[in-house]
Structure 1
Amino acid sequence: MSTSPTPPQPTDDSSSDARARRALADAVREIEHHVASAGWDAPVRVFALVRTQAALEAEPGLAGQLDAQVLAAARADDQHLTSVEQEGLPSADDLEHLLGGLTWPPTVHGAAVTVERVVLPPGAEEDLPTDPEAALAALLSHPQRQDVRLAVGVLRDGPSWCAVRTRAHDSDDAVGQGPDLVPGLVEAVRATLA
């Protein structure tokens, strides 16, 4: 008995979930591009993500602050997101403590963060000194170190998206993207929405 392969099932790219994933990816790309335009050596930046249609309903005056293309996109898709950078963040010793201290009201549909890090290739960390100050000095002077900017966004109802840019390949067409490129940071941002 022979069987023919099952034909691929049609996908519904117009479903609410697919549009939410696409809107999140667009928002994270826009955030990363915005942060990149300011250059490197930047502090952590945090953004609330709100569904633009809902924000316009709650605050009609917002329409005067948005670009005509943004308004058109928001009117065409109820999943469209607007990012709102958070200023005056509480002081924290590190990113984990900063994120651990954040909570969002129900009107915020997601959150995003950008942070710069220094990474080494696999195995290179094994040669670092155990003393934290000496390890930092060795990391910063390591010939194989890479400076990266991470942009991670998560929606309250589940999807995540990441964008990664390296200083060595600092161009918009060289930004890596995907839903789970930085799983630890995805989970830390997700925890702020719980």
Structure 2
Amino acid sequence: MTALEETVKSIEQQTGWDGPPQLFALVETAELLKVQPELADQLGFEDGDGFTAVDQGELPDEDIGALLPGIVWPESVTGCALAMVRITLPPEVEEQIPDGEDAVAWAVAHPLHEELKIVVGVLRDGTRHAVLRIRRHEDELLSAEDLVPDLAEALSQTLLPDE
């Protein structure tokens, strides 16, 4: 298992089903411990391998696609990850979805809805990994490099040098 895959899975395990999306800066644990060695004992790090996910706080539960282009990370950030829960419906009920603010409440109440917990992580070198859990099947975790390619690409754009 790669360090990014391990980090993404760890974020998924630590985030719940309720609440707004959460954004994480991914920093190399070894670099973090050079700057703040006291964190090794406080956080129980046994070594400096892998990445440390630094929670950036909750994001507004709005259009993530519109929010991400405004985010730029400093060079000290090796990557980033986003955790969020989304509601999906089967294609056969899409025409029934009401317009406006009632759409989300309607979708949540619909008997065919599915809740998905998604975590996508990307690194500056182009490495990416995502996991997805369906609430009705909580004991199963889907895991792949390009599970949510559009979101991975949008997160990658936040890591590009500011021009």
Is the 1:109–1:155 Cα contact (8 Å) retained in structure 2? Answer: yes
Deviation at 1:125, TM superposition (A): 5.0
* CA deviations over 1:7-49 (Å, ceiling 9, x no partner): xxxxxxxxxxxxxx7000000000000114xxx2221111111
Task: Provide the C-alpha distance between the structure 2 equivalents of 1:163 and 1:109, rounded to a whole number of angstroms.
Answer: 19
Q: What's the TM-score, normalizing by structure 2? A: 0.86
Q: Which structure has the bigger radius of gyration?
A: 1
Q: Displacement, 1:50?
A: 0.7
* Matching of residues 100-139 of structure 1 within 5 Å: 100-121=69-90, 123-124=91-92, 126-129=94-97, 131-133=99-101, 135-139=103-107
Give the counterpart letter for 2:65 in structure 1: E
Distance (whole Å) between structure 2 residues aligned to residue 127 and residue 187 of structure 1 = 29
1:63 aligned partner, one-letter code: A
Aligned residues: 160
Counterpart of 1:87, as a letter, is G
Deviations 1:124-182 (A, max 9, x none): 254234633454454333322101110010011111111111111123xx011101111
Whichever structure has more strand as a proportion of its residues is 2
Q: CA distance change for structure 1 residues 97 and 65 in 2, over 3 Å: closer, same or farther?
A: farther
The equivalent residue for 1:57 is 34
- In the alignment, structure 1 segments of 5+ residues that lack a partner are 1-20
Matches within 5 A, 1:58-73: 58-67=35-44, 70-72=45-47
Counterpart mapping for 1:1-194 below 5 A: 22-36=2-16, 40-67=17-44, 70-72=45-47, 74=48, 77=49, 80-87=50-57, 93-121=62-90, 123-124=91-92, 126-129=94-97, 131-133=99-101, 135-171=103-139, 174-194=140-160
Q: 1:46 & 1:130 partners in 2: Cα distance?
A: 30
Pair 138,167 (structure 1): closer, same or farther in 2 beyond 3 Å = same
Distance 1:125 1:105, change over 3 A: farther
Query: How far has the Cα of 1:100 moved from its partner?
Result: 2.2
For normalisation by structure 1, the TM-score amounts to 0.73
Alpha-carbon distance between aligned partners in 1 of 2:105 and 2:20, rounded to the nearest angstrom: 20
Secondary structure class of the residue paired with 2:83: strand
